[in-house]
Structure formats: C-alpha cells, structure tokens
Amino acid sequence: MKDLHSPLPLSMAATNLNSASIFFLTFSLLFMVMGHEASNSGQYPVVVSTWPFLEAVRAAWRVVDNGFSAVDAVVEGCSACEELRCDGTVGPGGSPDENGETTIDALVMDGVTMEVGAVAAMRYIKDGIKAARLVMQYTEHTLLVGEQASAFAISMGLPGPTNLSSSESMEKWTKWKENHCQPNFWKDVVPVDSCGPYHAKDFLGSSHGTCSKTTLMENIKSRSSHVGRHNHDTISMAVFDKMGNIAVGTSTNGATFKIPGRVGDGPIAGSSAYADDEVGACGATGDGDIMMRFLPCYQVVESMRLGMEPNLAAKDAISRIARKFPDFVGAVFAINKKGVHAGACHGWTFQYSVRSPEMDNVKVYTVVP
C-alpha cells in the first residue's frame, strides 16, 4: 500500500493547487521571510552611554526592554541623569556661568525619521531632554534657545520657572569669584577689574597699555586646564529598541564658568550625538567648543556607512580634531547596526557604559588615549 504520509513530488503538488492557493502560499512565504528579517535577532535592545552613568542606563534599559521605542528610552535615560545631577554636569544645580546661573542644553534625535529636537541655553526649566522631545514632537523646528525655549517648554506643560542653581553651584561660583574669576574662557582681552567687564585690547587704546592689569588675560592657559569630567561634561546616550530602531539623546548644563549665552556641542546634531537607522550611532563628550567645529559624531556614522569598523571610525574622528588642537580633551563612542561598539579619546581616560541582552547588568568599558 502507498504510504499516505509520504509527500507528493513537487511537480504533482503544484498541479493540485489552484490559483488562489498559489497566491496564499506565496503571500505566506513572503510574510514569513519579511517577519524573520524584521524580528529581533537577539542582539537588541542595546543601550550605550558616555561615562559610568549606571542608573541612567538602567532607566533606559527598563523602558526599552519592556517594548517601548528607542526615543522613549533615550528620554527616560537622560531624564534619570538630569534628576540625579550626574557628575554635577547634567541637569539643574551645576556648572554655573559667569553670573552664577545654571542653564540647560539638550537634544534628542530619531535615527529612523532623522527628526531632531533640541534646546540650548534654556533658563528656569530643569527637564532638558523632555523639552527637546517636545520641540521634535510639536514643532517643525530643530532648535529653540534661551528664555524663548523656556516659555515654549512651560506652554507645553513642563514645570517652571524654577531656579536651577543649588547651594553647591553657588558655593563653587563664590570661590571662583574670590579667585579673580579664574580660570575663564576669555582670550586676548583686558579686564576693567579682575572679573571684567572685558574689552578687546585694541578697543581700549594704547593709553591703557601700561595698566598693571592689562597682562592678566594675556597668558592663555591650555584649554585642558579648565576642561574635565566634573566641570565640562555631557550624557550622550544611544539606544536600539527591540526592532533595531535607533535614537540618541544628550543633556548637559554646559561648561563651568562659561560666558553667559554660550552654547556648546550638546544640542548640536552631528556633534554631541548622531544616529542613522541604516548605519548606527555615536555619542560624544568633552570640550564642545572645539568638538562642534568637527561634527565628530556625524563623521563617525558616515565612516561606518563606508564600511569602517566602530573602533576605527571613533579613532579617526578623534584624530581629526587632535591634529588641529593637540591639547583638546574629548571622547566618542561608536556603535554600528550589528551592535558592535567601541570608544576613542584624547587628553583623558574615557569610560562608557553598555547594556545588552547577553548582560545581566550594565558593563563599563574603559578607553585610554
């Protein structure tokens, strides 16, 4: 007797299928293939952040591991760092400017749509990353600044106005004033007194050339003397969600004792962070005034697009800056679509944090110059 369970030859099976059956079979096979390509291969989700900001990474991981989007996770992670005032350089209560005021810069970027929302020199609002997301969600702009950014954030429901200074930031500012406002970010100027106001040397004329204070600002110190992790830092975070979609976000209260109105690289897409769903992502930290001139994260992502591995892409971006500014301090991390990550730095030892499915907890990687 013929085995009833033996399969028919393919040629015979095909003759027994009508056109509707063939269409249904073809559609089903196509759906299975497409579903396999879009499914989580096990390498996602992934969270990467500058520095050992462990609680921020854990906050982002909880969100993305529960199935929320990469943008949701980035906002949650950076918000956690703002609330914790990571290193005193993120969120309220840190990095006073020359007037003793703390302001906020932040950015969020969706690597799928390439939409960006950012705020800069924002006063009186502590939720920088949430304000940045509101810009992305509810406006056609990319960047809002100053008190107008504050007014926008309040109008969209964020709490404020709030005094962003703290007893720690005011104590730091007072000691800086007592030290004749040194170090600072001025160059080639003459102060009226030890803490300004400042004027260009040529503006005052030669009659002031013999004043004993005219030499105070002439000896320009290396930038690394007042740029460091605890006074000039950013959380920059990248997240892949379970579908492999990418987002990045940043938040910082900027450089300590900056000139009021200064905006660093934190809210600048391509400098502090960049993401492209087809390639990968990058985050940066360090001397933003220098780094933003080179758009290092855009460089990293584009180098990876051309086939460069993350470690080489990161080193290349940093070396481009170091060739022009040997004393600069900064670092980047790079992560490609496969989840391969690396870091590079110059002028300091850099650490970045990672959480991925094969890890039981956040792992910190150390990178030396």
Considering 234, 250, 252, 285, which one is annotated as catalytic? Answer: 234
Q: Which residues are registered as beta bridge partners of 145?
A: 120
Q: Give the per-residue SS3 of the chain.
A: CCCCCCCCCHHHHHHCCCHHHHHHHHHHHHHHHHHHHHCCCCCCCEEEEECCCHHHHHHHHHHHHCCCCHHHHHHHHHHHHHHHCHHHCCCCCCCCCCCCCCCEEEEEEECCCCCEEEEEEECCCCCHHHHHHHHHHHCCCCEEEHHHHHHHHHHCCCCCCCCCCCHHHHHHHHHHHHCCCCCCCCCCEEECCCCCCEEEHHHHCHHHCCCCCCCCCCCCCCHHHHCCCCCCCCEEEEEECCCCCEEEEEEECCCCCCCCCCCCCCCCECCCEEEECCCEEEEEEECHHHHCCCCHHHHHHHHHHCCCCHHHHHHHHHHHHHHHCCCCCEEEEEEECCCCEEEEEECCCEEEEEECCCCCCCEEEEECC
Q: How many C-beta atoms surround the C-beta of residue 192 within 10 A?
A: 13
234 catalytically annotated: yes
User: Residue 79: is it exposed, middle or buried by C-beta count within 10 angstroms (0-12/13-18/19+)?
Assistant: buried
Residues in a beta bridge with 249: 108, 237
CA dist., res. 196 & res. 176, Å (int): 13
Q: Please identify every residue annotated as catalytic.
A: 234
